[in-house]
Amino acid sequence: MRILFMGTPDFAVPSLRMLLEQGYEVVGVVTQPDRPKGRKRELTPPPVKSFALERGLPVLQPERLRTPEAVEQVAAFRPDLIVTAAYGQILPRAVLDMPRLGCINVHGSLLPKYRGGAPIQRSVINGEKVTGVTLMYMAEGLDTGDMIARVEVPITDEDTAGTMFGKLSEAGSELLREWLPRIAEGTAPRVPQEDAEATYAPNLTRQDEMIVWTGTAREVFDRVRGLNPMAGGFTYWNGEVFKVWGCRIPQGSDKMMRPEWEGLVPGSVLETGAFGIRVRTGDGSVVLTEVQPAGKKALPAAEFAKGARLAPGTVLG
């Protein structure tokens, strides 16, 4: 069985590694082009490309998979099965029809919930307690294909989007390993999705990254950890972007408000100390634990507050 693998970020690497370790014939890898990254904007290969080259696999990086040239290059691999995991482009009909065993996808949510490009981050931002991975046959619609199997993975308060990417990528790899024999035999189940139950998780925008201080403490907490370590939540301080990488909800947040804090608007700094920076929200407060002023590196919030002499009453946002 000739397998062509399509994937791009770290999330996809465990599935590719599993295929090789289990002795499957991976005939090639398709991934996104190298992109500028970091302050110096250096051209950087995606993690799947780096891993594939280490293993001596041929790599294809079309800017657009929908061009006739790219489809022809994919066909040259003569795949029996295409396995995708967070590839980052929608497969055209010509590619979907190409392999005799079809195209399957490792998706980071419990479909039909969170269809789209940012299911993991949005699950955390929305305060979900459970998410998971779905192994599915691909169709022309956005994550609409028939499901083969799903596995649930809890989200704890200690999780960030980053830790969930790690957990779900490993769970997806294991799910793929478990079901590949039946997929190869053509006996894997095909369970249609209930479209009426579908929700969507589009890619995050700049607006999604902004901390809304009028929200509840829980909403602020979930947003910050759902954006870590990708973009970070941001607010404004002294007219400049001020990123928040970590925060926590103090115990009894909504019941420990002092009378002198009642008149302060959401986003107001309430107090600072060795614990960090306590900020008012719509229903209580959160404690910022890691922040990043404009043009600086991230640092503990307590260290920043001490150096910046951040006074109570300062308004963020």
> Binding site for (6S)-5,6,7,8-tetrahydrofolate, residues?
109-112
Q: Are strands 233-237 and 240-248 parallel, antiparallel or unpaired?
A: antiparallel
**Could you identify the residue written with the tokens 């055209």?**
92
Q: Which helix (H) or strand (E) holds 228?
A: none
Long-range interactions of 177-183: CB distance < 8 A, separation 24+ = 177/18, 177/22, 178/149, 179/135, 179/148, 179/149, 180/22, 180/24, 183/81, 183/101, 183/104, 183/148
Q: Which helix (H) or strand (E) holds 92?
A: none
DSSP 115: B
Q: Which parts are annotated binding residues?
A: 109-112
Contacts of 316 (CB under 8 A, 6+ apart): 211, 213, 235, 236, 237, 242, 267, 268, 269, 279
**How far is it, in rounded angstroms, from Cα 277 to Cα 291?**
10
Number of H helices and E strands in the chain, helices first, is 8, 15
